[in-house]
Chain A
Amino acid sequence: MELTIRQAAIVKKLCWTLALSVVAVPFLFPFLWMISSAFKNANEIFGQPSLIPDVWRWRNFVEVFEYQPFARQYFNSIYIAVLVTGLTLILSSLAGYALARMRFAGAGLLMLFLLSALMVPEEVTIVPNFFLMKWLGAMDTHIPLVLLPVFGPHGVMATFLMRQYFVSLPKELEEAGKMDGLSRLGVWWKIALPMSRPALAAVAIITFLFSWNLFLEPLVFLSSIENFTLPLALSNFTDPYGSPLWHLQLAATSLAVVPILIVYLIAQRQIIESFAMSGVKG
C-alpha cells in the first residue's frame, strides 16, 4: 500500500500527537485523580481504582472546613499573597526604575550587591531570620511571610526584571514628562509604569504564585492552626497518629488547586510568558 505525501504527513502527525498524549498522562492524571478522589469516601479511596466515584460524597468538602479553620487559612493565603504582590510591585518598580534610568554614584556596585542575592537560597538565611523574627516578636504572625519574600531573592529578581524592562523602553516620553514639570516620582508613576504593564503583569503573576505556594517559611514561623496558610494547612489533614486522611486532604487540595488552575487555563499564554521572562533573567 502506497501512501501519498499528504497521507504520510497525516500519519506522521497522528503518531506525534499519540506520543505526546502518552507523555502528557503523568502530567494531567494527578489532577484528575485528585479531583475524583476528593469525592470518594474513606473506603472507596482504597478500593478498585476508578475515575468516577461510585457515590459522590460532597460531605468531604464540608468536613474540610470542620476539621480545621480552612476558610480562615484560605483567606490568610489570599491576603498575604495580595500584600506580597502589591509591595513587590511598588518596591521592585521603584528600585528597578532608579537602576535603569538614574545616574547615581554607587549604582553599579549596588547592582552587583543585589545580584549576589540571587545566589543565596532562602534555606541559608532562614535560621538567622528565625531569630530576628523572634526578637521582633513576629513569631506566629504573618509578618515574616510578607517581609521575607518581598525583600528576599524573589524581590531582587523582580527588581531586575523591572530594570531590564525599563532599560528597553524609549526615553523620549519620560523626557517630555520632565519638560512638562513632572517630578521624578511623577515620571515614574504617570509615564514609566503605564508603559511597563507587561513587566508589571509578569512580576505580579510570578510573585502571587510564589507567595501562594510558599511552604518553608510558614512551616518555620507559624504555630497556631488559625494562622496557617494553605500549603501548611493541606499538609495538616492527618489522623491523631499522623497518617493522612486522604479523602479530606485531597478534597482540600482540590479546593486550593482548582481555582489557580482555572485562572491558569484562562490566562495560560500570559502566565507562561511571565515565567519565561523571569526564568531568562533570573
Chain B
Amino acid sequence: MTGHVRTGTTAPRAPWLTLRRREMFEGWLFVSPTLIGFLIFFLGPLIAIVIYSLSEWNLLSQQMTYIGTANYQDALTQNPDFWHVIRNSVIFAAGLVPLNMTLALALALALCRPGRGVVFFRTAFFAPVVTSAVAWAIVWKFLLQGEAGAVNQMLATVGINGPNWLREPDWAMVAVIATRVLKMVGLNMILYIAALQSIPRDYEDAARLEGAGNWQIFRMVTWPLLAPSTLIIMVITTIGSFKVFDHIYLMTGGGPENGTLVLAFYIYEQAFEFFNVGYASALAMIMFAIVLVLALVQIMLRQKGSA
C-alpha cells in the first residue's frame, strides 16, 4: 500500500501542486475586493472617459455620438479658454513649486535636529496640512478681503495700501498661490526632515574638520545628498499643483476675469456646470497626460537616483 505519507523528500507531486494552487487561489481571494472595486470605480471610468472624449454627449437628450478627435481639436485649436487655462495652471505651478520647496527645505534645515521649541514649530507649520482645504480657503478669503480684510488693515497700520487681493486677476493668483503654499508646505517640510535625518552625521563632521563653513557644507554635502528626495518632492508637488481644485473653487471661483481658472476647475465647470461632457472628458484626458508625463519623469529620475 502506498499511502500519502508526507515525508519531506519523497513527497508525492500532487499535494505540492494543490498547495501551490491553493496559495494562488487564496492570493487572488485576498486581493479580489480591492481589485473588483478598482475595476468598477477606477479602470472602468478610465476607459469610459476615453470613449466620452471622442463623443458628443447631449445630456438633455441622453444621446452620444462619435465625433472623433473634435473635442481635442476644439480644446487645442479652437477654444481660446483652453490655452488661457493651461497658462494659469502653469503659472500656478511655476509659482507654487519653487516657493513651496524653498520654504520647506529652509524650515526642515532649521527644524531637523531635536531641540527646544523644535516640536512647537514643527507642529505649527504642519497644522494647516491636517486642516481641511475648505476651512483654510474660507478663513483666508475672509482675511484677504478688500478694505475690511485683516491683512489689508494690518498693512495699513504700516502705511501700505494693500490691493483688493481676490478681486484683481494678478493679485488673486498671487493670493491663491501664497495661501496654498502655507497650506501644504508642512508636508514637504516633513519629507525633507526625514531625508535630512537619514544623512549620516559623519559627512557633516568630516567636512567641518576640513574647515568647511555652514554654507559650504550645505552646498557640497547636504544638497547633493538630498537630490533624490528633492526630485521626488518636486514631482509630487508639481502633480499636486495641477490637481488643485477646492482651494480655487472656494477662494476665487476661478475669477476674477478667469484669472485663476486652472485646469481642474475648468474640467469641473465644463462637466458639471455647462454639461459639456465630451469636451470635459477630452480636458480630463489632457490632464491625465500631463500628470502621466510628470509621473513617468519621477519614475525615471527615481531609477536614475537609485542606480
Contact = CB atoms under 8 A, between A and B. Distances in A.
A241 interface: no
B236 interface: yes
Interface stretch (B10-18, B72-80, B89-97, B267-275): B267-275
Contacts of A244: 138, 141-142
Most buried by B among A99, A213, A244: A213
Interface in B229-249: 236, 239, 242-243, 245-246, 249
B23 A151 contact: no
A83 B272 CA distance: 27
A133 B55 CA distance: 20
A181 interface: no
A62 interface: no
Interface in A140-196: 147-148, 150-153, 155-156, 159, 184, 188
A261 interface: yes
B82 interface: no
A148 B44 CA distance: 13
Nearest to B20: A103
B190 A275 contact: yes
A11 interface: no
Contacts of A264: 123, 127, 130
A272 B38 contact: no
A37 B142 contact: yes
B110 interface: yes
B187 A129 contact: no
A46 B127 contact: no
B254 interface: no
Nearest to B29: A98
B34 A275 contact: no
Contacts of B123: 264-265, 268, 272
Contacts of B139: 30-31, 33-34, 250, 253
Interface string A84-123: 0000000110110111001111110010001001111101
Nearest to B233: A279
B158 to A, nearest CB: 13
A41 interface: no
> What secondary structure prevails in chain B residues at the interface with A?
helix
Contacts of A156: 34, 38
Contacts of B83: none
Interface in A228-247: 230-231, 234-235, 244, 246
B71 to A, nearest CB: 12
A151 B43 CA distance: 10
Contact of B27 (A37, A102, A231, A268): A102
A46 to B, nearest CB: 4
Interface string B115-144: 001010111111111111111101111110
Contacts, number: 250
A279 B236 contact: yes
Contacts of B117: 17, 20
Contact of A123 (B110, B190, B245, B277): B245
Contacts of B119: 268
Interface stretch (B1-9, B205-213, B219-227, B288-296): B288-296
Contact of B40 (A123, A151, A275): A151
A260 B130 contact: yes
A213 B143 contact: no
A121 B153 contact: no
Given A95-B30, A155-B34, A261 B131 contact: yes
B28 A129 contact: no
Given A33-B143, A253-B139, A151 B154 contact: no
B196 interface: no
| Size category of the binding interface on chain B | 35 or more
A234 B135 contact: yes
Contact of B127 (A27, A128, A231, A279): A27
Interface of A: 16-17, 20, 23-24, 26-28, 30-31, 33-34, 37, 46, 48-49, 91-92, 94-95, 97-99, 102-107, 110, 114, 117-121, 123-132, 147-148, 150-153, 155-156, 159, 184, 188, 209, 212-213, 215-216, 219-220, 230-231, 234-235, 244, 246, 249-250, 253, 256-257, 260-261, 264-265, 268, 271-272, 275-276, 279-280, 282
Given A104-B28, A110-B35, A128-B52, 10 more contacts: A94-B30, A114-B38, A124-B285, A124-B288, A127-B49, A147-B41, A148-B41, A152-B41, A219-B249, A256-B135
27 contacts: A28-B127, A49-B154, A92-B34, A94-B33, A95-B33, A97-B30, A99-B31, A103-B23, A119-B291, A120-B42, A121-B242, A125-B49, A129-B45, A131-B48, A132-B48, A213-B134, A230-B134, A234-B135, A244-B142, A253-B135, A260-B130, A260-B131, A265-B123, A271-B130, A275-B190, A276-B190, A280-B191
Rank and list the top 8 A-B pairs by shortest CB-CB distance, nearest first: A104-B27, A151-B37, A98-B30, A128-B45, A128-B48, A102-B27, A213-B132, A231-B134
Interface of B: 23-24, 26-28, 30-31, 33-35, 37-38, 40-42, 44-46, 48-49, 52, 107, 110-111, 117, 119, 121-136, 138-143, 148, 150, 153-154, 182, 186-187, 190-191, 193-194, 236, 239, 242-243, 245-246, 249-250, 264, 267-268, 271-272, 277, 280-281, 284-285, 287-288, 291-292, 295
